[in-house]
Amino acid sequence: MTYITLHNFLNLLDVSITAVFIYAALALLRKTKSIFIFRGIATLTAVYIVAFFLNLRLTTSIFGGFFSFFVIILVVLFQKELRRFFENFSVSFFNPFAEEDIPIHKGSIEMVVNSAKYFAKKKIGALMVLVGKQHVDRFFEGGYVMDGKVSEPLLLSIFDNRTPGHDGAVVIENGLIKKFGAHLPLSENFKKYGNIGTRHTAGLGLSERTDALVIIVSEERGTITVARHGELRVVDLEKLSYEIKIFLDELSPLDRDGVIMRLIKYDQKYKAISFAIALLLRLLLIKK
């Protein structure tokens, strides 16, 4: 009886671990257009499973050759998504054991907002990156190391068009300006926003690859835009302060004790789908 209970527990644990990975992959793919490719592959997989159980030899033979290269196909199609998945998983797994890093102290928010107000009023182009939990260094090119305290005079001097680093981005991490004059990766999906400038394309590009919050000031229109999770939003000064505070709250949520409840409460549909897929894989792949 004890053996049966232990065996059932291990089977449940096996399926649950697989379901977690499937859910993490689905959550990532839902944020990109790659989810449509994934649905296509899932449809082909379903056809193969049906053909296998109905003993349709021609269909299973054709699909068998396809699935022989399935892993290689996945790597080619989902190269960027797989890299992002492992980065996100690493951050999520090790974050509970790491020291909390604050991208910007709450006392410095007013300085950033006031600087953005000045840039917008004077139509001075600016690009400010608030680093989140994910490492972003490998996405930067060039720039100058600073490690200076965030202040209005410093930000205003950096984006003065007579200084060498005014065309790049300011990187704010752990409450300090870590670097200025850095160049960010350009977005590949900028066309949906029409005719946007290089700063907006760069800010959008970094937000597509990391969880950073990017603040962009247009030198042509004098508008303030925030880039987050691959989306651009034009904001006013009040909304900018709110966006920064929301960003900080997401990095250091107050209700840490409610993590388990949030896991149970939210996104139940995709969690159920993930568990069902994991259970189906268990039945198909494991004979015993």
Report the alpha-carbon distance of residue 288 to residue 36 in Å, rounded: 34
Query: Domain ranges in the chain?
Result: 2-98+260-285, 106-251
Residue ranges of the alpha helices (H) in the chain?
A: 2-29, 34-53, 57-68, 70-77, 79-94, 106-122, 152-158, 198-209, 237-251, 259-265, 268-285
Q: Which residue has the tokens 């508008």?
A: 223
Q: What percent of the chain has pLDDT over 90?
A: 20
pLDDT tens over the chain, length 288 residues? 465 576 677 778 888 888 887 777 776 666 555 566 667 777 877 887 788 788 888 887 877 777 667 667 666 766 666 666 666 555 555 454 444 455 566 667 888 999 999 999 999 999 999 988 877 888 888 888 888 888 899 999 999 888 888 889 999 988 789 999 999 999 877 777 778 888 999 999 999 888 899 999 999 899 999 999 888 999 998 899 889 888 887 776 544 444 455 555 556 777 888 888 888 777 766 755
Q: Are 52 and 60 in contact (CB under 8 A)?
A: yes
Burial of 127 (0-12, 13-18, 19+ CB in 10 A): buried
Interval 116-128: pLDDT, tens? 999 999 999 999 9
Domain 106-251 falls under CATH 3.40.1700.10: yes
Please report how many Cα atoms fall inside a 13 Å half-sphere around the Cα of residue 276, on the Cβ side. Answer: 6
